[in-house]
A and B are shown apart, each in its own frame.
With several copies, the nearest count.
Chain A
Amino acid sequence: MLTIVFFAQTREIINQGSLSLEFTPAFKDLETLRQHLASKGDKWDLALQKDKLLVAVNQQMSDWNTEVKDGDEVAFFPPVTGG
């Protein structure tokens, strides 16, 4: 299983904070996973536009070509604005 979490605008657009997803080897990397989720509908496609989206795996900022492993917690969110 994969745990997918969303924050800020990303979460608000899809109106969902998290979901669980059966892991399959078809999720080669984070980009494949992003595309899979974006295909769930217009709002998902909008929320997961890559130009202003960051991704973290197991709470570490990651690159799109990072490999996805069973059990990972993957987070999608916009650029951070704290401080």
Chain B
Amino acid sequence: MIKVQTDDFDIATLYQQLTNNELNPHGYGAIVTFVGKVRDFNQQQQVAAMALEHYPGMTEKSLEEIIVQAKARWPIGEPIIIHRVGELLPGDQIVYIGVASAHRKAAFEACEFLIDYLKIKAPFWKKEQTDSGYQWVDARETDQSAANKWAKQ
């Protein structure tokens, strides 16, 4: 399941959707989730607010594509990816990734793969408001190297 939305999300509801479905009542004994939140500092500057822009259509396509890759690579159920756009405040939830599997290693790896690939492949852009005004967040080299570790050996 993929959702790009301005509204906040509720992790308890998502957890139910991830695990309690009729097709798979108890088979998936391992559930790994990741939540990313807005931090209040970036590069020594206090962040007062954030705006998230995206490329409608391509966003969903790119998330579907990385889910296809994850499912081809690990024995997991249908993951959930929720990503918010629009205006956000420090402490607000930005992104949710949930993965269920019969194997905890697969659930951990697939969940980390999904957020690592989302970070470099999904067309979202963050703009932060600090004392010096709005500024676009720079892409980080560490995000590229985090994704590179999933390159098939």
Binding site for B on A (CB under 8 A): 5, 7-9, 52, 56, 59-61, 75, 77-83
Closest to A52 in B: B139
The answer to whether A82 touches B61 (Cβ under 8 A) is: no
Please, could you name 27 A-B residue pairs with CB atoms under 8 Å apart, sorted by A?
A7-B54, A7-B125, A8-B125, A52-B139, A56-B55, A59-B58, A61-B62, A61-B121, A75-B55, A77-B55, A77-B123, A77-B125, A80-B119, A80-B120, A80-B121, A80-B124, A81-B136, A81-B138, A81-B139, A81-B140, A82-B52, A82-B83, A82-B94, A82-B118, A82-B119, A82-B125, A83-B119
Interface residue? B53 (CB, 8 A): yes
A8-B53, A75-B55 are known contacts. Are A81 and B61 too (CB-CB below 8 A)? no
B48-91 interface bits toward A, Cβ cutoff 8 Å, 1 = contact, 0 = none: 00001111011001100000000000000000000100000000
Number of chain B interface residues as a range? 20 to 34
**How far apart are the CA atoms of A81 and B96 in the complex, in Å?**
15
The answer to whether A60 touches B61 (Cβ under 8 A) is: yes
Contacting residues, chain A, for B57 (C-beta < 8 A): 59
Closest to A59 in B: B58
> Which among B58, B62, B115, B126 is the interface contact of A81 at CB below 8 angstroms?
B126
